[in-house]
Amino acid sequence: MEVIVRKDAEAAARLTARLIADAIRVKPDLVLGLATGRTMERVYEMLVEEHKYRGLDFTYVVTFNLDEYVGLAPSDPCSYSAYMHYHLFRHVNINPANAHVPRGNAADLEEECRRYEALIAAHGGIDLQLLGIGLTGHIGFNEPMSSLRSRTRLKALSPVTLQQNSEYFGGVDKVPRRAITVGVGNILESKRAIMLATGEEKADIVARALEGPVTAMVTASALQLHPRCVVILDEGAAANLTMRDYYDHIFHTEPEWAPYRSL
């Protein structure tokens, strides 16, 4: 794991978007795992700008979203399918058949989990997985006590997560109680991973995930086991880290990061 701290949320999003754009340019048929939430909105805006003004081509890109609420149709404005369409898909030249989100309104939800898992495997797995982190330390909707070997499945959402997402639904009582999510095991199988976190409210959970023990109580801590993961933070989210000097040293001295130091 490598940790990069940028001066603010804008700079953190810019670096994240640049890494994704560069990965697409190197591998035009990239299999890209996507995340949702307010943190990701600026990343998607920047990818749209890369497409419109610098020719970033999504023709052959295949995407898989991490999760979807149970019971919501893709057309529901609160669904993650609608979120992705609004923030990214409608603005770029991605083939709609290549943009995959779990079907939260499937008649057989267990079968939908198996179908989604098989579809990821049929595409050779995820080349680059974009991640956020929830206040419970979850990646995807892998809430505390999720197995670190878990696969795509149904998951009950914690009260903290329900409250965190309530603004999108107009009240905590309106948030779906379950979701389909890819598992921690799926995420760890991605060839590369980027986790983006911003804001002081994430500082405690980020420190626990990055510098605490690997534990199912904080599923993002499993990223310590990922062979090629970079975590991008702003100053607020990095506030509780104890190894900050070392992280900065790596970013400013390792050759692979030279093209990104000015971002």
Pairing mode, strands 192-197 and 128-131: parallel
Query: Which strands make up the sheet holding 153-156, listed edge to edge?
Result: 67-69, 178-181, 153-156
pLDDT digits (tens, 9 = 90+) for 121-158: 999 999 999 999 999 999 999 999 999 999 999 999 99
What is the number of domains present in the chain? Answer: 1
Q: 190: domain CATH number?
A: 3.40.50.1360
Query: Which strands make up the sheet holding 99-100, listed edge to edge?
Result: 2-6, 229-234, 192-197, 128-131, 31-34, 62-65, 99-100
Containing domain of residue 146, as a range? Answer: 2-260
**What value does the mean pLDDT take over residues 7-13?**
98
Nearest alpha-carbon partner for 67 in 37, 23, 45: 37
> What's the token pair of residue 64?
């898989």
Secondary structure E strands in 23-94: 31-34, 62-65, 67-69
Where does the pLDDT of residue 97 fall: very low under 50, low under 70, confident under 90, or very high at 90 and above? very high
| pLDDT value of residue 119 | 98
| pLDDT value of residue 4 | 98
Residues whose CB is less than 8 angstroms from the CB of residue 227 and which lie 6 or more positions away in sequence, other chains included = none
pLDDT digits (tens, 9 = 90+) for 35-71: 999 999 999 999 999 999 999 999 999 999 999 999 9
Nearest alpha-carbon partner for 218 in 145, 152, 150, 155: 145
Has this prediction a pTM greater than 0.85? yes
